[in-house]
Amino acid sequence: MTSNNPVSVADGDRERLLHGTHHDPHSVLGAHPVPGGIAVRAFRPYARTVTAVAGSDLRAELHDDGDGFFSALLPLSEVPVYRLLVEYDGTVQETEDAYRFLPTLGDLDLHLIGEGRHERLWEALGAHPVTHQGVPGTRFTVWAPNARGVRVAGDFNFWDGTGAPMRSLGSSGIWELFLPGIGEGELYKFEITRPDGSRTLRADPMARRTEVPPQTSSIVTASRHEWDDAEWMAHRGDTPVHEAPFSVYEVHLPSWRPGLTYRELAAQLPAYVSDLGFTHVELMPVAEHPFGGSWGYQVTGFYAPTARLGTPDDFKYLVDALHRAGIGVLMDWVPAHFPRDDWALAEFDGRPLYEHADPLRAAHPDWGTLEFDFGRREVRNFLVANAVYWCEEFHIDGLRVDAVASMLYLDYSREPGQWTPNEHGGRENLDAVAFLQEMNATVYRRSPGVVTIAEESTAWEGVTRATDGGGLGFGLKWNMGWMHDSLEYMSHEPVHRRYHHHEMTFSMVYAYSENYVLPISHDEVVHGKRSLVSKMPGDWWQQRANDRAYLAFMWAHPGKQLLFMGQEFAQGAEWSEAHGPDWWLLDPEYGAAADHRGVRDLVRDLNIVYRATPALWQRDTAPDGFQWIVGDAAEDNVFAFLRLDAEGTPLLAVSNLSPVVRDYRLGVPEEIPAWHETLNTDLARYGGSDVTNPDPVKPEPLGSHGRPASIRLTLPPLATVWLRPA
């Protein structure tokens, strides 16, 4: 239906608005000066009448031009501040006209977005409740450069975006619309008309809150949380992480105590972690993800904490509570890839946008997901700003970056012919390298005290070297080699360990090539790998003894420590996200509870002694902070070494990984007058046989292990002992 009204919407504009392909609806709709007055045009599908109202003396019913279009010529010389009375069947609504407002994004925002340098991108894009030109409402903005048109759909328009077309802000690829009267809690998505004319309904890539999965809508939100962690934030960067105590309890929040919300976790998790003495928690990914079985590693809502456990402010409350308890919060962050769900990022505006345009580069070969196009500046900006977002908005103290190796190599899990070399003929993904360098440099510049940690399993050089020296710029790197080798050694019966001795010593060959974390993570206790205690050989007593000896060896080894939940009390079963740790093992009514409590008591004591002993952490990255006493006693299954603090004060760590008691002579520094046992994993209260060295041990002038003085120790079976100067 075409109107004869001289100020009605022209046929071409009308068709594009009806089909969702208009790039500038504000140029047509709203109020505009025309010859003879002011033309007011409204697009209100399903309305019976529309009336423009200004002040107390202007009330003009618009002409019904058909298909939801209404227009009128007002005999005015200037555009008035007006509202619309819209009559539907059985109801009349008085509302502001969304098409009378100026754009809500300024030139600086658009310039920074265009340059890929908007470090607080979440403040420019997404949905934000604001007061604009004196009117409360919500500003919607989205990047969709290939779209022919974008509209906002939500509960507020019955999920029909026809009457809410957005305007394109030039070459930026940004679409914008201020909807008056829309506030917090409203559900929304973007209805995108693709280049081929088809339409797709998409969640907001920048949504800061989402529905609870499997629902997929974005939610308009604003934070009300008032932080109470100023003291923590002011001092968290006082000591560089690599020179500070750093022992990490890794947690999958939805299953740690199944059914608890963020706020309920805040009442339990800080107290538990504090009691065990860990310095940090590391949260498996909390960003929104559709499939719980991915444990959070396939993210669709990069800017939204998962709604399964509460609101974004609820998550802030948990972080705040951990900080007030003196516990740092690390978070797994997944910038390598994203799932293919057709309501999320995949071919977001009808063409590859967040993913690489080359299908071979886009498809992640292992996980059925899509890899980000790290060479596209807007995508790089999306991810760099996301790292900044978690640190600045949620006070996160560190980002453990998942799957770095899969980002760095073009041929990762790909056969010949499935990948194309870089411009130099190599297999390095130069775009990903540049992205990681930019991300690390930006985070460290903006958020003092924050640490970034790479999960990187290859021999890539310079992962923790500064970016200005050609490195990737991470603060720490997971030592996957140490983890694989040491667990392989421990899995053997003691009688066979002599043939695998090097698996426990080889890590010291490269221990100072990077700044390392020693990870016993969730990945090691799932998918048939068995829990930590179940990897150990022998009967139940021997398994626990091996477990305890290994943990103390790990805590004494150069590098930071990470232990996954459940392993602190020797859970025998593999972890399952469906039911979490087997807390019942600690119930006094359970017959073997003392065995599990003993291991947990050891972990607590490891952390207590560790934090009080600078030799165990102050020089983790300095070769002169470590000295072998004996590293070649393969026949004895014995390892002994010194850790030294900045003042040269030592700690002696000795592991006897054979099931026999040994009377053992060890060379020691002659200047220490006596040693006392400060930790012994064989104590009866840990579940051991209580073979100890109760009295101070004094050196004798007998040479051993290349040293002029030595001590004689009783080494308990399958145990580690620590000694300090008496």
Hey, which residues are catalytic here? 402, 455
Tokens at residue 483, please? 């983890």
What sign has the CA pseudo-torsion 620, 404, 251, 575? Answer: negative
Burial code of 277-299, b = ≥16 C-beta within 10 A, e = fewer? bbbbbbbbbbbbbbeeebbbbbb
Tokens at residue 326, please? 């003196």
In DSSP notation, 485-517 reads HHHHHHHS-GGGGGGGTHHHHTHHHHTTSS-EE
Quote the DSSP letter at residue 391: H
Q: Is the peptide bond before 699 cis (omega within 30 degrees of 0)?
A: no
For residue 363, which phi and psi values (nearest 5 degrees)? -80, 120
What sign has the CA pseudo-torsion 401, 404, 408, 411? Answer: negative
In DSSP notation, 605-656 reads HHHHHHHT-GGGTTTTT-GGGEEEEEEEETTTTEEEEEEE-TT--EEEEEEE
Tokens at residue 87, please? 């009559």
> Interior CA angle at 37 toward 35 and 39, to 5°?
95
Is 679 in contact with 721 (CB distance < 8 Å)?
yes
Q: Helix (H, G, I), strand (E, B), or coil: what is residue 661?
A: coil
Is 10 in contact with 2 (CB distance < 8 Å)?
no
Smallest CA-to-CA distance from 345 within 384, 383, 311 is with 383
Residue 268 CB neighbours (<10 A): 13
Is 138 in contact with 182 (CB distance < 8 Å)?
yes
**Largest distance between two CA atoms of the chain:** 112
Is 679 in contact with 609 (CB distance < 8 Å)?
yes
